[in-house]
Structure 1
Amino acid sequence: MTKVAVSVRGDTARIALLDGDELTEYMLWRVEQPDGVGDIYTGRITAKLPAMAGSFVDLGDETGFLPDSAGAPSLTEGDYISVQVTRAAQGGKGPRLAVLAEPPADRPGLRRRGPGPLPELMQRFPKAQIFIDDYALIARLRPMLGTRMTYKADAFDAVLEDEVAGLAEPTAALGQGAKMHIAATPALTAIDIDAGAASGDGNAKPQAQLALNIALIPAIVRQIILRN
């Protein structure tokens, strides 16, 4: 059963998507200070960047990046387009964008705010039940989510709290004795897999390590998704 647990701490709502008891997605939502994900803009292509497989887009108050894979290959500099923010600005870089199939306005700028991560999540999982530990947030979301929300004081139980706390650590256990080390820099996020459980002598060891790395791919992907 898919369910969503929401726990509010101060001005931040922590949102956990669970498949049964397994955490599958995790996100933070600053309700009064949204990060802009889901917002829709009219943008203007200011530079095509073949080396980066994308384009810079003037949004009026900032510049975003539109990957070619998100709808930009046939666009040219000066084109006006409608775009949606798919990832917030971070690390000194502007937001990541995707093209929307709707007419743009006649100048760059914000057109409308996105619904926020929780309503967006509910669009993806329309049958999921939502458990929230904050009455004020329930009241705020009632017009959008209606009776799908239930108050639960321990929406984040001890097991979920421990798993969420682990997402802030630079190392994650992957099983079979392997670990995943994560190092974020302004230019990239580096991931190193320590296949400590791989065994073998001589020529057999590289094959054993490769086999373990392949077996660990689902766990690696899960950690990348959880850590956004």
Structure 2
Amino acid sequence: MVDSPDQSAPETGGVFEWVEEQIEQRDNWARRRRKGIPTDKGLLVIACMDERIPVEDALGISLGDAHVFRNAGGKVTDDVIRSVALSTHFFEATEIIVVNHTDCGMMSAPDDAVVDGLEAATDERLDEIDLNPALPSLSIGEASIADWISMTDDIDEACQTQIDYLKDHPLIPDEVTVHGYVYEVESGALRRPGERVAEQINTRVSE
């Protein structure tokens, strides 16, 4: 689990030093929060929970490099902001990357249709249920259940909107960089939001 330049002991001499280094690395890994050790790359990733999105592979990162927050749609909710605020202010995160993706399940139906479907499946009215039983004092106030579901019409627009929102949020330090990408499940590659290359190369009109 813990990365090391060389996982094998030296052929001659220096074994004591090698063992001590391994012990120290394991201790740092196990107690990195207590020791104030930040993520290896000072990175926080917000991504969809979809099982097709290989976040680490897509970004070229490894275990230990980043805080990774995944939810349905890779949405920047208030709970995401809570985690981002903690990561940037107390765990030295200096970079945020949003990863949305094509063929997202959060684009499969209108908000109201999902609400109706959940109510039919559970035989419950969602507006009569505490959304977070562990914190019953929290509520969505006057917002609609459809807003809580938060389906998406255009994944590129949603990604860019979330980038802009994070950049302007008062709880996120100005010096933290924010970027976002759309992961194409059909190609297995990231692209910048709004840059649908297929649309540009498969039409007669070109720029």
TM-score (norm 2): 0.25
Larger relative contact order (CA 8 Å, sep ≥ 6): 2
Considering fraction of residues, name the structure with more strand.
Answer: 1
TM-score (norm 1): 0.24
